[in-house]
Amino acid sequence: MDFFSLFVKDFVQQLQSPTLAFLIGGMVIAALGSELVIPESICTIIVFMLLTKIGLTGGIAIRNSNLADMVLPMICAVVVGILVVFIARYTLAKLPKVKVVDAIATGGLFGAVSGSTMAAGLTVLEEQKISYEAWAGALYPFMDIPALVTAIVVANIYLNNKKRKEAANSIMKTVAAGDYPDRKEYPSSRQEYLNEQKGDGENRVKIWPIIEESLRGPALSAMLLGLALGILTQPESVYKSFYDPLFRGLLSILMLVMGMEAWSRIGELRKVAQWYVVYSVVAPFIHGLIAFGLGMIAHYTMNFSMGGVVILAVIAASSSDISGPPTLRAGIPSANPSAYIGASTAVGTPIAIGLCIPFFVGLAQAIGGV
């Protein structure tokens, strides 16, 4: 019952946090027929500033870390970030009537990291006097950024294949009707159609242009630019005076916009909402356990502390409420924000903070005797 009351308390607090409050506010004013409009050019610059800040934060954290010590836990973080997206791709996305892009975006958000969940985890470790590496907090960009990049790339690959399939299908119908078109694309499209049947194996060659395309898109190029500037240059003065202090405020405007957008698409979720709830309750534990397992390998081979293993599990269990939504809005515009933000902030985060943190701390104490 204590777990349950913690969960409810955290759920109510989440609803009152500016991120979710502005999202719900946007849905409410859209429902009431408000004529409020945030100009598109403003959304563009807000997304740019948010993603540059996310990249800068990660880049500065990486520059200030001792990479040699971190190498194995870092690899664990990257692997978990990528894996989480593929888990969503092959579980949530396969459920009846769930849209594949929505599921991939949700996976991206659950792979990305919530700074506040991580902070809550660090606080609990300190309260319980469980020691951990000082650089453990710097692991988060190594899970956060790969998860978001993977989600965007996987979504683009899916959308690309879908388009080809549709093109191939329409050609097949044309062919069946005896109407042979005089087009160069025909055999290639046919090949693609066959590839679809055989699976992804033979398709790999064509994935690279899509990855390149994703990286060149406005979302990832802003984020990777920030990352590179954070690692290679000294952007601290603009980071501290501009990108960091404005972040939450700009996010609140974007959340409002996303709330208004979400309202117009909330009907899509009527028949699948239960799957998102199931996913959001189960996934944080699965992701956390995978990270915990990988962390244990680092514990036995590299003497990575048990506190560090818990942090790795907690950031895997967490789902992003801050860095994820603007990135996915720009990177996978066709995904429905009601699905991925709803799943992440309304269910995933309370589960992660209220249930997963105590669970993984308890697990570490039981196993490692800390």
Q: What is the DSSP string of 102-123?
A: HHHHHHHHHHS--HHHHHHHHH
Nearer to a copy of itself, 2 or 35 (CB): 35
241 touches a copy of itself (CB under 8 A) = yes
Span near a copy of itself by CB under 8 A; candidates 23-31, 161-169, 276-284, 299-307: 23-31
18 touches a copy of itself (CB under 8 A) = yes
Which is nearest to 17 in space by CA: 6, 5, 25, 7? Answer: 25
In angstroms, give the least distance from the CB of 259 to a copy of itself. 10
116 touches a copy of itself (CB under 8 A) = no
Nearer to a copy of itself, 45 or 282 (CB): 45
Pick out residues in 256-285 that bind a copy of itself (CB under 8 A).
256
Which amino acid would we find at residue 204? R
**Contact yes or no for 109/344 (Cβ under 8 A):** yes
Among 16, 197, 301, 303, binds a copy of itself (CB under 8 A): 16
Give the CA angle between residues 119, 223, 294 to the nearest 5°: 50
Which amino acid would we find at residue 345? T
208 touches a copy of itself (CB under 8 A) = no
Which is nearest to 359 in space by CA: 303, 282, 299? Answer: 282
The whole-angstrom separation of Cα 195 and Cα 164 is 10
Nearer to a copy of itself, 18 or 362 (CB): 18
Among 198, 199, 205, 237, binds a copy of itself (CB under 8 A): 237
242 touches a copy of itself (CB under 8 A) = yes
In angstroms, give the least distance from the CB of 23 to a copy of itself. 11
Q: What is the DSSP string of 312-331?
A: HHHHHH---SSSHHHHHHHH
Give the CA angle between residues 297, 57, 334 to the nearest 5°: 90
125 touches a copy of itself (CB under 8 A) = no
170 touches a copy of itself (CB under 8 A) = no
With b for 16 or more beta-carbon neighbours within 10 A and e for fewer, the 191-212 pattern comes to ebbebbeeeeeebeeebeebbe
Pick out residues in 209-228 that bind a copy of itself (CB under 8 A).
216-218, 221-222, 225, 228
Q: What is the DSSP string of 192-206?
A: HHHHHHH-SGGGGGG
Pick out residues in 39-58 that bind a copy of itself (CB under 8 A).
39-42, 44-45, 48-49
Span near a copy of itself by CB under 8 A; candidates 94-102, 148-156, 186-194, 237-245: 237-245
Among 6, 7, 15, 99, binds a copy of itself (CB under 8 A): 15
The whole-angstrom separation of Cα 282 and Cα 287 is 9
Residue 186 is given by DSSP the state H
Q: Which residues bind a copy of itself (CB under 8 A)?
A: 13, 15-18, 21-22, 25, 28-29, 32-42, 44-45, 48-49, 216-218, 221-222, 225, 228-229, 232-235, 237-238, 241-243, 245-246, 248-253, 256
